[in-house]
């Protein structure tokens, strides 16, 4: 009862409410007091970091250690002010990001273009865009979220782009150090140490990060270590920097469970010998040059060399991983290894000029990316229990049943022009052209000859888009605009979809890439009064996703092809009201009370179904069915309060129920791989206190009322079955800055 009473009070407050830049300074003339307020979210509506965002849905989230749990990369808290963002919380370690929006797949965020400091961090941005690496949030200064309507500027993805921007330096001193130590439930220990500083034209920043835990479930321990270093030199008209990041982790995979155990024993595990390992290395060179106040150039080049390794017993959940008496040991495990090498470069030029009385903006850029994947799968592994990647030859003398070389070359040219028509209206047309080459070759047991001759697919993609913005008010205390846009999107067939996942699966050789578009119409703005700013962004969206890839049975065998078209439409809303010094109006100390609401109502359904079986039996059709993992409602609300070093944060999150298959199966099957997942609500709370300017302590509780829930089912990795999410966890953090 307590949780619902708390929620009703919060919702009552939030109905009147409506965030802003990371820092606001407000002066009072009567007493000449200057107060500084930390605000959590910015909504740019013109030019942002050399990208045109006028008429588009884009936000910049400033991280504040007082308002979220950085120690476990808690994405539910990170994106609490981002309406419509679905977070798949099946992995409490925070080692991988699994997020989506508008009914798209959350699988390792592959519908987003994921970046760090402006460059790609996915394995292969075009051919295999799964994100096995996620930056530690301890080091992140802000996160920029671009929706799919901004696709022309960064890529073709339907979901959008997310960029984790690291801190550049700690302050303007020659040397500064920041250290945080966290302990928490389930054996959590998180340690983060950063150093940084600047002298004359030089600045530097680097960190060492370590985290380990036993995990909420049995057999779910993990250990991760991250290292990063960056050096920058300030030119007279620009800046150059070089950086290197190294990340590695090992996690034990607890696998799935049966639905009957979710409420009684959600921490159960039937897999004790499944392990996953990632090693990620990236070297980057970046620069920018200002020719003058209205002409700028920006570039980066990045090189990634990485590995993804797994070993485990991958049979269905109904088959137990038990001691085999005939072998005198456990059964051999399966070993899969991927090696990734990716080099990408991008250059962007922005020019502003006057046409009539208005300042016009034009941007143009080019991108080159080359990715290679060496995929080794279905190796016969050891019978031991630990992380052991030893592989034994099969009867044919092969170490792996699949030994494949996958290559992608991508060249892109993009341009947009912001035309200001009068003082209030702006129109931004743009295009993106991409030339894409995919190559596959190697050996696989899925082919009769065992050999896959070199297969190459070339295509040229041309995408267009148009956005507009109308400024209703543009005064010092009020900014309010209307925006609308429509942009074509594109997703190439991924390598994981081109290759059969089993010996019985058949892949359609005529399978096509996914095409479609994203569109939005909305209003956003900031109203500033004496009490504080009201920030809002409300929009309706319509997304068309043609040729969704899936499988249906043909001659009693799975046939992978374009199964149908999807339409997703809905409303997204975010409002926040921040009160300056609501209780201590005459205090010289900054006091801030913020209340926010963020949510979406969406309908993602199949509008066509390409299965030829429906010609004889329409009951086989999924037309009109809900899209998998697309909740109809996502709602988040919260309160933040800061005064004299004290900070209180509360967040409520609700996510509606989802289906896990296209047929919208309600009851779970015998192996727990399909079946509806129930709606759930989560409460998070934290309290922190900062003293002597350099020290901060924080305690918090995630999932305060111990909600038992699940957000994903798995048919394969990390173990078939229902994957429970984490129950209540407590943590304590000590932060020192010197």
| pLDDT tens for each residue of 167-220 | 988 888 999 999 999 999 999 999 999 999 999 999 999 999 999 999 999 999
The alpha carbon dihedral of 379, 307, 384, 722 has a sign of: negative
Lowest mean pLDDT among 2-16, 181-195, 297-311, 464-478: 2-16
Element spanning 734, H or E: strand 729-737
Range from 21-25, 232-236, 262-266, 714-718 carrying the lowest mean pLDDT: 21-25
23: CB partners within 8 A, 6+ apart? 36, 37, 38, 39
Q: What is the pTM of this model?
A: 0.93
463-467, 508-512, 623-627, range with the lowest pLDDT:
508-512
Query: What's the mean pLDDT in 341-363?
Result: 94
Task: List phi, psi (to 5°) of 385.
Answer: -115, -20
Q: Is the dihedral of CA 218, 219, 220, 222 positive or negative?
A: positive
Tell me whether residue 355 is exposed, middle or buried, using C-beta atoms within 10 angstroms of its C-beta: 0 to 12, 13 to 18, 19 or more: exposed
Contacts of 603 (CB under 8 A, 6+ apart): 568, 569, 570, 632
Cβ atoms 718, 314 nearer than 8 A: no
Counting every residue written for the chain, the total comes to 738
Q: How far is CA 67 from CA 40, 639, 650, in A?
A: 9, 10, 8
Torsion (CA) 112, 117, 118, 119 in degrees, nearest 10: -80
- d(CA 694, CA 715) in angstroms, rounded, equals 49
For residue 188, the cross-strand partners are 184
What's residue 340's pLDDT? 97
DSSP 285-308: EEEEEEEETTEEEEEEEEEEEEEE
pLDDT at residue 22 tops 80: no
Please give the average per-residue pLDDT across 532-548, as a whole number: 95
- List pLDDT tens digits, range 117-139: 999 999 999 999 999 999 999 99
Find where tokens 């800055």 sit: 737
Residue 426 has pLDDT above 90, yes or no: yes
Q: What's residue 500's pLDDT?
A: 75
pLDDT exceeds cutoff 60 at 18: no
Average pLDDT value for residue range 511-536: 93
Instruction: Name the residue among 464, 470, 475 with its Cα closest to residue 524.
Output: 470
Q: How confident is the model at residue 21 (pLDDT cuts 50, 70, 90)?
A: very low
Q: Can you give the pLDDT at residue 448?
A: 66
Cβ contacts of 511 within 8 Å, gap of 6 or more? 493, 497, 498, 549, 560, 561, 562
- The enclosing H or E element of 5 equals helix 2-14
Closest alpha carbon to 576 in 7, 127, 16: 16
Residue 1 confidence class, pLDDT cut points 50, 70, 90: very low
CA 627 from centre of chain:
20
What percent of the chain is helix, strand and coil (3-state, nearest 5)?
5, 60, 35
Cβ of 617: how many Cβ atoms within 10 Å? 9
pLDDT band at 696 (very low <50, low <70, confident <90, very high): very high
pLDDT band at 605 (very low <50, low <70, confident <90, very high): very high
Q: How sure is the predictor about 41, in pLDDT bands with cuts at 50, 70 and 90? A: confident
616 Cβ partners below 8 Å, 6+ apart? none
Q: Of 28-32, 365-369, 546-550, which gets the smallest average pLDDT?
A: 28-32
In whole angstroms, what separates CA 493 from the centre of its chain? 20
Mean pLDDT of the 505-514 span: 87
* pLDDT for 11 beyond 70: no
Omega of the bond leading into 718 within 30 degrees of 0 (cis): yes
Query: Looking at 6-20, 368-382, 422-436, 466-480, which range is the least confident one?
Result: 6-20
Q: What's the chain's average pLDDT?
A: 91
Question: Is residue 385 scored above 60 in pLDDT?
Answer: yes
pLDDT at 718: 78
Least confident piece of the model among 147-151, 312-316, 611-615: 611-615
Query: Sign of dihedral through CA atoms 502, 504, 510, 514?
Result: negative
pLDDT at 413: 98
pLDDT tops 80 at residue 333: yes
174: left (phi over 0), alpha (psi -120 to 50) or beta: alpha
Q: What percent of the chain has pLDDT over 70?
A: 94
CATH code, 19-326+334-737: 2.40.170.20
CA 712 to chain centre: 16
- The two beta strands, 160-166 and 58-62, are unpaired
Q: What is the pLDDT of residue 244?
A: 97
Cβ neighbors of 550 (< 8 A, separation 6 or more) are: 560, 561, 563, 564, 662
DSSP letter for 63, please: P
Say if residue 28's pLDDT is above 90.
no
pLDDT in tens, 558-603: 888 999 999 999 999 999 999 999 999 888 888 999 999 999 999 9
Question: pLDDT-based confidence at 12, cuts 50/70/90?
Answer: very low
């Amino acid at each position: 009862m307590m949780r619902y009473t708390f929620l009703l009070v919060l919702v009552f407050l939030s109905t009147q409410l409506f965030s802003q830049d990371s820092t606001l300074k407000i002066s009072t003339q009567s007493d000449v007091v200057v107060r500084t307020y930390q605000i959590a979210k910015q909504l740019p509506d013109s030019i942002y970091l050399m990208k045109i965002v006028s008429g588009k849905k884009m936000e910049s989230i400033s991280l504040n250690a007082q308002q979220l749990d950085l120690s476990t990369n808690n994405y539910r808290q990170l994106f609490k002010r981002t309406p419509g963002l679905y977070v798949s919380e099946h992995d409490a370690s925070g080692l991988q990001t699994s997020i989506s929006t508008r009914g798209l797949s959350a699988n390792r965020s592959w519908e987003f273009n994921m970046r760090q400091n402006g460059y790609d961090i996915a394995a292969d941005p075009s051919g295999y865009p799964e994100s096995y690496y996620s930056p530690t949030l301890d080091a992140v200064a802000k996160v920029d979220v671009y929706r799919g309507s901004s696709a022309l500027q960064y890529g073709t993805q339907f979901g959008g782009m997310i960029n984790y921007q690291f801190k550049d330096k700690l302050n303007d001193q020659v040397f500064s150090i920041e250290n945080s130590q966290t302990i928490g439930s389930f054996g959590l220990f998180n340690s983060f140490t950063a150093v940084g500083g600047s002298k004359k034209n030089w600045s530097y920043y680097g960190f060492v990060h370590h985290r380990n835990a036993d995990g909420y479930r049995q057999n779910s321990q993990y250990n991760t270590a991250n290292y990063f270093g960056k050096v920058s030199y300030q030119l007279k008209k620009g800046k150059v920097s070089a950086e290197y990041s190294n990340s590695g982790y090992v996690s034990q995979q607890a696998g799935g469970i049966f639905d009957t155990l979710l409420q009684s024993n959600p921490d159960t595990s039937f897999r004790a010998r499944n392990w996953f390992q990632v090693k990620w290395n990236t070297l980057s060179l970046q620069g920018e040059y200002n020719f003058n106040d209205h002409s700028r150039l920006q570039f980066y080049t990045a090189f990634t060399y990485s590995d993804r390794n797994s070993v485990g017993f991958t049979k269905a959940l109904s088959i137990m991983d038990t001691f085999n008496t005939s072998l005198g040991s456990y059964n051999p495990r399966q070993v899969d290894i991927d090696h990734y090498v990716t080099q990408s470069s991008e250059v962007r030029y922005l020019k502003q000029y006057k046409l009539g009385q208005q300042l016009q903006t034009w941007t143009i850029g080019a991108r080159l990316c080359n990715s290679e994947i060496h995929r080794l799968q279905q190796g016969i592994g050891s019978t031991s229990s630990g992380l052991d990647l030893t592989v034994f030859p099969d009867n044919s003398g092969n170490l792996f049943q699949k030994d494949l070389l996958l290559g992608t070359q991508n060249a892109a040219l993009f341009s947009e022009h912001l035309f200001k028509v009068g003082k209030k209206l702006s129109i931004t047309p743009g295009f993106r052209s991409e030339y894409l080459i995919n190559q596959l070759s190697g050996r696989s047991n899925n082919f009769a000859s065992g050999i896959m001759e070199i297969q190459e697919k070339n295509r040229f993609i041309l995408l267009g888009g148009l956005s507009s913005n109308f400024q209703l008010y543009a005064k010092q205390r009020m900014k309010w605009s209307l925006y609308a846009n429509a942009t074509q999107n594109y997703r190439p067939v991924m390598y994981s979809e081109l290759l059969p996942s089993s010996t019985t699966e058949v892949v359609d050789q005529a399978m096509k890439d996914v095409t479609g578009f994203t569109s939005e119409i909305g209003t956003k703005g900031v109203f500033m009064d004496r009490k504080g700013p009201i920030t809002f962004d409300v929009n309706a969206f319509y997304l068309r996703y043609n040729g969704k890839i899936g499988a249906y049975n043909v001659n009693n065998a799975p046939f992978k092809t374009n199964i149908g078209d999807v339409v997703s439409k809905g409303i997204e809303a975010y409002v926040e009201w921040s009160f300056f010094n609501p209780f201590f109006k005459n205090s010289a100390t900054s006091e801030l009370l913020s209340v926010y609401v963020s949510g979406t109502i969406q309908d993602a359904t199949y509008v066509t179904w390409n299965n030829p079986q429906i010609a004889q039996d329409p009951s086989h059709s999924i037309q009109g069915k809900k899209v998998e993992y697309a909740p109809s409602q996502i709602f988040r609300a919260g309160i933040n309060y800061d005064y004299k070093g004290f900070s209180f944060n509360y967040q409520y999150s609700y996510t509606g129920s989802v289906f896990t298959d296209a047929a919208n199966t309600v009851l779970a099957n015998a192996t727990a791989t399909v079946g509806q997942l129930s709606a759930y609500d989560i409460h998070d709370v934290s309290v922190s206190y900062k003293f002597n300017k350099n020290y901060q302590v924080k305690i918090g509780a995630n999932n305060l009322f111990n909600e038992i829930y699940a957000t994903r089912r798995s048919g394969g990795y990390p173990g078939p079955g229902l994957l429970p999410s984490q129950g209540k966890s407590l943590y304590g953090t000590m932060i020192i800055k010197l």
